[in-house]
Amino acid sequence: MENPSAQKLIKKIQVDLFKNGFVAETLITDLKKLREYALEEQVPVLVKAIRLTYEHLEANGAFLIPIPDDEPVDEETELITDGNTVSTENNMESLEYLISLFTDLGNKNNMLDLREYNKALQEF
């Protein structure tokens, strides 16, 4: 994100996660504010990612989405991993990675990962 206030808010979220761990209420409030900045910058993929993230946090009280795979998944692996083995543990590493993607939208890999997160959040 280009807006200095948005960059500062992203840093605040990252520091809060590092220092205080996962505090859903604070994180949701900060993400809703960050989404306002994203709306101003008119980046639909980012706006959607932020909204889906805080809706996921509100509904589940945790972030349960894994980091997107770097390699394409073949169907055999997909069938095994798509079984009913959904983790109920907070995936802090994935959440931290998702938030780090918000800082550099000019990187095409970041945008691809944001799209993967959006897809995973919608399918959850």
At residue 104 the predicted structure's pLDDT band, cuts being 50, 70 and 90, is very high
* 93-95-99-101 Cα dihedral, nearest 10 degrees: 70
At residue 48 the predicted structure's pLDDT band, cuts being 50, 70 and 90, is very high
At residue 84 the predicted structure's pLDDT band, cuts being 50, 70 and 90, is very low
At residue 103 the predicted structure's pLDDT band, cuts being 50, 70 and 90, is very high
What does the domain layout of the chain look like in residue ranges?
Answer: 4-63+85-123
Cα 40 to Cα 57: distance, rounded to the nearest angstrom: 23
Q: Is residue 75 predicted with pLDDT exceeding 90?
A: no
